[in-house]
Amino acid sequence: MMMVTRSFQLFVLFIFPLTIFITECAKVTQNPDVYNVTKTIVHSAVSKGAVCLDGSPPAYHFDPGFGEGVGNWLVQLSGGGWCTNVKDCLNRSKSDVGSSSYMHPQPFKGIFSKNQSANPDFYNWNKVFVRYCDGGSFTGDVEYVDPATNLHFRGARIFTAVLEELLAKGLKNAKNAILAGSSAGGYPAILYCDRFRNLLPNTSRVKCLVDSGYFVHFKNPVLGRPFESIYKGVATLQGSAKTLPKSCTSKMKPELCLFAENIQQDIKTPIFISMSAFDNIMTQYTLGGTIYGCIQNGTCTASQNKTFQEMRSDFLSAIPKGNNPKLRGVFIDVVHHHTSLQKQTRWSPEKPIVVHNLAAPKAFSDWYFDRNYTYLIDEHNLPLPNDA
């Protein structure tokens, strides 16, 4: 018996220091620029009907702040296109953009980096990446569920349920806060911007950030039709009219109110838009996927270039004017890319997009912290390749 006990003691003495050594090594070797964060399931959302397309509970990824950033919060609404009919939504419900069952750990990088030198203003903030699983830019609120498909259109409820949990986790005590949205998550970052602000009455600085999610309604009917068709499908399936501002839906069709240009005038909270005038999702949805090749290879025809110029003109007419950059800041480049916030090369000192010698991350940080109210537009009227 004594021999067994002695052997066990030696085992513990050997294994325990080894465990500490392995743990410490893990801490040392974690890359602060790119690190994986596991999902948090919002189980309480189910009883509220706030569920993904397949009926599974929504989810987010949370990395707590530290040091002086412990009281600051960055909440990002993720994107991933839309589904505009039952067939598309059924397919989507079997993936990570339609069900939390398929969601894996999320790489945190770019504006979520913990590297102080690469991300000096936000490296130590509480960071939340809200997963997009409703297919309707967080605008849906349909009570009825067809038993033949079991599809749920509840994006608006998901936003509410996730925010409620985050408020309880400490967001309600935030000193500084940002609601950001990328791609299909960009529109709800505008739609819910004032609501986010109102939930934080004691927070000194609350602003919103749109990352490549400001898709415009082109004046030319041929150019405008693709996005109008997408938004009509979304509004019809998702019952979005219930969520959209009455100041807009009382004047025009619900699908037109899914264009940010038609609701932005009623938003009182400061908003910053960071995007290319030739966003590659906007150009490909509008002109077809083959347009990417001609831009990358520099082989676009005179007719295509004329169309680009027309699109740029409409885009610049739609975005907020520059008369009050404190309330509406912009950073508009001409690189043929889509989204930057979660990209290590785009939202870092390594290879940021620059306009007038100012990088996008610096432009936004200065605007957010009231150091300089940025309103920057690249004057070039043709797109540059994605790797420019």
Distance between CA 374 and CA 388 in Å, rounded? 22
Radius of gyration of the chain (CA): 23
Q: Is 183 a catalytic residue?
A: yes
* Residue type at position 266: D
* Residue type at position 25: C
Provide the strand spans (E) within the chain.
35-37, 39-41, 59-63, 72-77, 106-108, 126-130, 176-182, 205-211, 271-276, 328-333, 354-355, 358-359, 375-377
CB atoms within 10 A of CB 25: 10
Tell me the CA distances in angstroms from 127 to 123, 195, 222, one per residue in order. 9, 19, 40
Tell me the CA distances in angstroms from 40 to 61, 94, 103, 141, 151, one per residue in order. 6, 19, 10, 23, 22
Provide the strand spans (E) within 225-334.
271-276, 328-333
Q: Is 24 left (phi over 0), alpha (psi -120 to 50) or beta?
A: alpha
Tell me the CA distances in angstroms from 212 to 50, 67, 121, 243, one per residue in order. 26, 31, 21, 22
Tell me the CA distances in angstroms from 162 to 24, 174, 372, one per residue in order. 33, 16, 32
Catalytic residue, candidates 56, 78, 183, 212: 183
Catalytic residue, candidates 279, 314, 333, 378: 279
Which DSSP symbol is given to 244?
S
Q: In degrees, to the nearest 5, what angle opens at C-alpha 363 toward C-alphas 359 and 364?
A: 125
Beta bridge partners of 377: 332
Q: In degrees, to the nearest 5, what angle opens at C-alpha 342 toward C-alphas 336 and 344?
A: 80
Tell me the CA distances in angstroms from 165 to 124, 128, 168, 248, 340, one per residue in order. 21, 12, 5, 30, 27
Q: Is 333 a catalytic residue?
A: no
The strand pair at 354-355 and 358-359 is best described as: antiparallel
SS3 label, residue 178 = strand
Q: Is 217 a catalytic residue?
A: no
Distance between CA 120 and CA 105 in Å, rounded? 25
Catalytic residue, candidates 61, 336, 337, 338: 338
Residues acting as catalytic residues: 183, 279, 338
